C-alpha cells in the first residue's frame, strides 16, 4: 500500500472515531498511536496472519490486536462505504473488463467466484 493512502486511512479513522486517537492513561502514559492500531490491522489483512504473529512486529497482545482489527473493519466500512464500497454499475463493469482484457485477463470478474 502506498504511504499516502495508508496515512489517509489513518487520518480519516482517527478523525471519525475516538477509538483511533491516542489517549493518555491515569498515570500519564501514552497509549497506542493511530498508526500502530492501523498498522496492526492492515498487516493481518494483507498477510493473512494470526493475531499473535503481529505481536512480534508491533508488540501488541493478541486480544488487543483482535479488537483493533474489528474496529478497523467497522471504521473503514463506516467512513468509506458511501464513496468507495459500492457495487459497480454497468459502466464500472464495462470499464473493468476493458482494462482486464488489455492486460490479458478477459474474464477477470468471473475469476472472483472460486466456487466451481
Are residues 15 and 53 located together in one domain of the fold?
Answer: yes
Are residues 51 and 7 located together in one domain of the fold?
Answer: yes
pLDDT at 111: 52
pLDDT at 8: 95
Cell 467466484 maps to which residue?
113
Rounded to an integer, what distance in angstroms lies between the CA atom of residue 86 and that of residue 19?
25
Task: Tell me the pLDDT band of 109, cut-offs 50, 70 and 90.
Answer: low
Rounded to an integer, what distance in angstroms lies between the CA atom of residue 12 and that of residue 46?
19
Are residues 62 and 112 located together in one domain of the fold?
Answer: no
Note the pLDDT tens digit of each residue in 68-90: 899 999 999 999 998 888 888 88
Are residues 80 and 91 located together in one domain of the fold?
Answer: no
pLDDT at 113: 52
Are residues 25 and 47 located together in one domain of the fold?
Answer: yes
Are residues 81 and 93 located together in one domain of the fold?
Answer: no
Are residues 68 and 91 located together in one domain of the fold?
Answer: no
Note the pLDDT tens digit of each residue in 37-52: 999 899 889 888 888 8
Note the pLDDT tens digit of each residue in 15-36: 999 999 999 989 999 988 999 8
Mean pLDDT of 43-63: 82
Domains identified in the chain, total number: 2
Rounded to an integer, what distance in angstroms lies between the CA atom of residue 53 and that of residue 37?
15
pLDDT at 112: 53
Are residues 52 and 66 located together in one domain of the fold?
Answer: yes
pLDDT at 80: 92
Are residues 63 and 26 located together in one domain of the fold?
Answer: yes
Are residues 31 and 65 located together in one domain of the fold?
Answer: yes
The pTM of the full predicted model, rounded to 2 decimals, is: 0.71
Residue pair 38/6 in contact by the 8 Å Cβ criterion: yes
Q: Could you list the residue range(s) of the whole structural domain that residue 24 is in?
A: 3-85
Amino acid at each position: 500500500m502506498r504511504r499516502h493512502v495508508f496515512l489517509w486511512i489513518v487520518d480519516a479513522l482517527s478523525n471519525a472515531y475516538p477509538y483511533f486517537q491516542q489517549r493518555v492513561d491515569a498515570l500519564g502514559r501514552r497509549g497506542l498511536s493511530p498508526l500502530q492500531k492501523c498498522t496492526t490491522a492492515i498487516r493481518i489483512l494483507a498477510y493473512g496472519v494470526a493475531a499473535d504473529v503481529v505481536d512480534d512486529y508491533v508488540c501488541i497482545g493478541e486480544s488487543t490486536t483482535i479488537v483493533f482489527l474489528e474496529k478497523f473493519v467497522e471504521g473503514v466500512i463506516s467512513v468509506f462505504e458511501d464513496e468507495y464500497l459500492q457495487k459497480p454499475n454497468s459502466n464500472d463493469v464495462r470499464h473493468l473488463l476493458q482494462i482486464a482484457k488489455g492486460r490479458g485477463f478477459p474474464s477477470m470478474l468471473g475469476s472472483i467466484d472460486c466456487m466451481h
